[in-house]
Structure 1
Amino acid sequence: MEQILEAIQAGASSDDIANLPIPESYRASFVKRDEAAMFEGVDSWDKDPRASLHVDQVATPELAPDEVYIAVMASSINFNTVWTSIFEPLPTFGFLDRMARDGEYGARHSRDEHIVGSDASGVVLKVGAAVRNWKPGDEVTVHCNYVDDQDPSAHDDSMLAANQKIWGFETNFGALADLSVVKANQLMPKPTHLTWEEAAVNGLCSATSYRMLVSDNGARMKQGDSVLIWGATGGIGGYAVQYVLNGGGRPIGVVSSPERAELLNKMGCEAVIDRKAAGYQFWSDEYTQDESEWRRFGKDIRAVNGGEDVDIVFEHPGRSTMGASIFAVKRGGTVVTCAATSGYMVEFDNRHFWMKLKKLLSSHFANYAESWAANKLLDQGRIQPLLTDVYDLDHVGDAALAVHHNEAEGKLGVLCLAPAEGLGVSDPEKRERIGEDKITMFRGV
């Protein structure tokens, strides 16, 4: 890997990189099959990713014809890495064992270690025999939608494919490593003005937000639409705010501190609700929601939204907020949800839902076309990375713990093969034109 890094830093040609030997092993972060029960009886909050995420050498897998090896320069932490590291809601080795039934190349994924990570920026090292559009030396980012294009269910919207998986979560050989194996249809051009770490943090969260709001598979936000965004400075909420602004909408950001409200204002989001200051108690006890609190919340929304209810609610907390979200969206409006970070058994008053013809729409990551479109907006500088801090791979457990305990805004990057921050910018003029202050707005938050 040192030889590979030297070649990348020296700007080696495609042919020179293609002739580099692929190492028999590489450094990676992984969980172990024989430790899957290590947190039994421990409260979820107290499960520590630093105890379960190991960094060591792993064997390099064989390359399938539709795959490439990439040198991973940087990656990032997503909640799915946290879930894998604390073995919730279940150990991910079951996913890998099911992949082993998919033939020779599927069998590679069933190992005693699960190499994690679902975001990457890097350099193509070698391509399989069936790869057409990519070559060694290409600088790329990677989206995490993993599908078999021989299955007919994958050819309308690949997120509806019967065999759709998330790379690095439901597959092996993820991105928190110096090397990775990905399908060619996961590759996208790296934005030329971004550093390795800035380019690595966007794929999963940015494309998820794009599908939820912009895509025909999502809420189909129009110019002028008002959008309530929970966790508006978080990993997906911060991208949602940008997509609403870029699309001519009006974001109403919900956050939990004056500092986060100030960050939203800096992003251009004028309408902000500080839920902590408001002290909303949507649940009066474990089993009962308080409609008067929904009504107070709706009144506060109208106060910052020109007296109107919102057209769309960007929902991901789940149980703690779904009742309020369904109540607050306007007659005929849409609640679009992609997660349930506060609990997945949601409840709402169906009378407010059916009698006012509201819509509840599910969304999960993004297909290749949506991911590509989101990446193009990043390359154009219309959407900015939400990188707040950077860790090295040896401290990936610390980064995962920070995400687990909601201690970080935006996204946490992880340097893999890249030896330092600030590398990888191939178009400094474009970076200057877009503006350093915009690109690095979330740094140090």
Structure 2
Amino acid sequence: MNEILDAILASTQSDHGSPALGPADFAALPVPESYRAVTVHKDEAEMFAGLTTKEKDPRKSLHVDEVPVPELGPGEALVAVMASSVNYNSVWTSIFEPLPTFGFLERYGRLSPLAKRHDLPYHIIGSDLAGVVLRTGPGVNLWKPGDEVVAHCLSVELESADGHSDTMLDPEQRIWGFETNFGGLAELALVKSNQLMPKPGHLSWEEAAAPGLVNSTAYRQLVSSNGAQMKQGDNVLIWGASGGLGSYATQFALAGGANPICVVSSPRKAEICRAMGAEAIIDRTAEDYRFWKDEHTQDPKEWKRFGKRIRELTGGEDVDIVFEHPGRETFG
């Protein structure tokens, strides 16, 4: 791995006088038999049984293991990971909520002999990466060893026509590193080549690794032709506006001429929204909203109070788009 890292660093410094390394140089680099990866273990999937979510500690479930390099299949690429990112998939996987991810790996493993590689007693997690292509499998023509890339998280088979106009509708659509194995929180990662995009040259490895999952999700929800198709002047209610998804949604709204109404849970998070340029902000903790009377009953009076507050911030207008991802908590 050190030899690979040295080659990548030498290549990235080529603009400053060092000789550039080409595809043949990277193809000639030996790939190790094993690599370090962040994993969860199948035999520990019940370790947090009976605990509340707040009591579940990822430091107890996440491991840094030495794992064998997986076989490279058709249409795939092996990437040396220079940076990865923690996102909500990583959090859910680490605490085995809403259920352990090994069920996903088992079902994927039944799809084909090649997919069987993913059904292991450990799960290498992570759904983001920025790095350098080391090897490509048969049928990969667009990418070559040495290419600097980022990977988005959508893994599809595209054998069914259902997904041809919208890959999210592929019956075999999965989230890489969450519903598949060999994710990005590792020294190496295995991806489908159609997950790869060129790394933006003006971004550091860490900056390039951060946006993949959350930015793509927010763009699809809010801007894309498969989402809300936000337009200028829209009032956009953004729940969790300072987080990974919400911060990108806020920036998309501001850049697109819409009016974000940012819902947060603390003064610190409100300040993050202000720093992005948002003006309409609701701190639901400071304003003491209690949307649930008990575990099973929502309080319609609180939702009406919330709606009144929104209209105060929009000059009496209703919202045009609700950007929401927590689910049950905000379903009212």
Q: Which residue of 1 aligns with 2:15?
A: none
Q: Which residue of 1 aligns with 2:155?
A: 146
Gap regions ≥5 residues in structure 2? 12-20
Q: Which residue of 2 aligns with 1:239?
A: 248
Change (3 A) 1:35 1:258: closer
Q: Which residue of 1 aligns with 2:257?
A: 248
Distance 2:93 2:273 in 1: 31
Q: Which residue of 2 aligns with 1:135?
A: 144
Q: Which residue of 2 aligns with 1:294?
A: 303
Q: Which residue of 2 aligns with 1:9?
A: 9
1:142-184 superposed Cα distances (whole Å, 9 cap, x missing partner): 0010011223222121111111111001100000000011001
Tell me if structure 1 keeps the 8 A contact 2:162–2:170: yes
Q: Select 2:130's aligned residue among 121, 146, 155.
A: 121
Show the 5 A alignment for 1:347-358. Answer: none
DSSP 3-state at the match of 2:118: coil
Distance 1:28 1:38 in 2: 20
The one-letter code of the counterpart of 2:67 is V
Show the 5 A alignment for 1:232-381. Answer: 232-323=241-332
Distance 1:25 1:287 in 2: 49
Q: Select 1:18's aligned residue among 27, 38, 63.
A: 27
Distance 2:273 2:93 in 1: 31
Q: CA deviation at 1:6?
A: 0.5
Q: Select 2:79's aligned residue among 70, 74, 88.
A: 70
Q: Which residue of 2 aligns with 1:430?
A: none
The one-letter code of the counterpart of 2:6 is E
Change (3 A) 1:125 1:254: same
Show the 5 A alignment for 1:17-166. Answer: 17-166=26-175
Moved more, 277-286 or 243-252: 277-286
Change (3 A) 1:286 1:37: closer
After TM superposition, the runs of 4+ consecutive aligned structure 1 residues lying more than 4 A away are none
Tell me if structure 1 keeps the 8 A contact 2:264–2:282: yes
DSSP 3-state at the match of 2:171: coil
DSSP 3-state at the match of 2:217: helix
Distance 1:39 1:292 in 2: 36
DSSP 3-state at the match of 1:278: coil
Distance 1:90 1:80 in 2: 12
Q: Which residue of 1 aligns with 2:16?
A: none
Distance 1:182 1:42 in 2: 34
Gap regions ≥5 residues in structure 1? 324-445
Show the 5 A alignment for 1:407-418. Answer: none
Output the TM-score relative to the length of structure 1: 0.71
1:72-121 superposed Cα distances (whole Å, 9 cap, x missing partner): 01111112122212222222112112222222211111111110000000
Distance 1:112 1:285 in 2: 39
DSSP 3-state at the match of 1:90: coil
Q: Which residue of 1 aligns with 2:223?
A: 214
1:381-415 superposed Cα distances (whole Å, 9 cap, x missing partner): xxxxxxxxxxxxxxxxxxxxxxxxxxxxxxxxxxx
Q: CA deviation at 1:24?
A: 0.7
Change (3 A) 1:36 1:287: closer
1:303-341 superposed Cα distances (whole Å, 9 cap, x missing partner): 111221111111122222221xxxxxxxxxxxxxxxxxx
Distance 1:260 1:91 in 2: 30
Tell me if structure 1 keeps the 8 A contact 2:158–2:170: no
Distance 2:52 2:265 in 1: 24
Tell me if structure 1 keeps the 8 A contact 2:241–2:264: yes
The one-letter code of the counterpart of 2:260 is P
Total equivalences in the alignment: 323
Change (3 A) 1:257 1:37: closer
1:276-323 superposed Cα distances (whole Å, 9 cap, x missing partner): 111111222333322222221111111111221111111122222221
Distance 1:298 1:108 in 2: 50
DSSP 3-state at the match of 1:309: coil
DSSP 3-state at the match of 1:102: coil
1:342-400 superposed Cα distances (whole Å, 9 cap, x missing partner): xxxxxxxxxxxxxxxxxxxxxxxxxxxxxxxxxxxxxxxxxxxxxxxxxxxxxxxxxxx
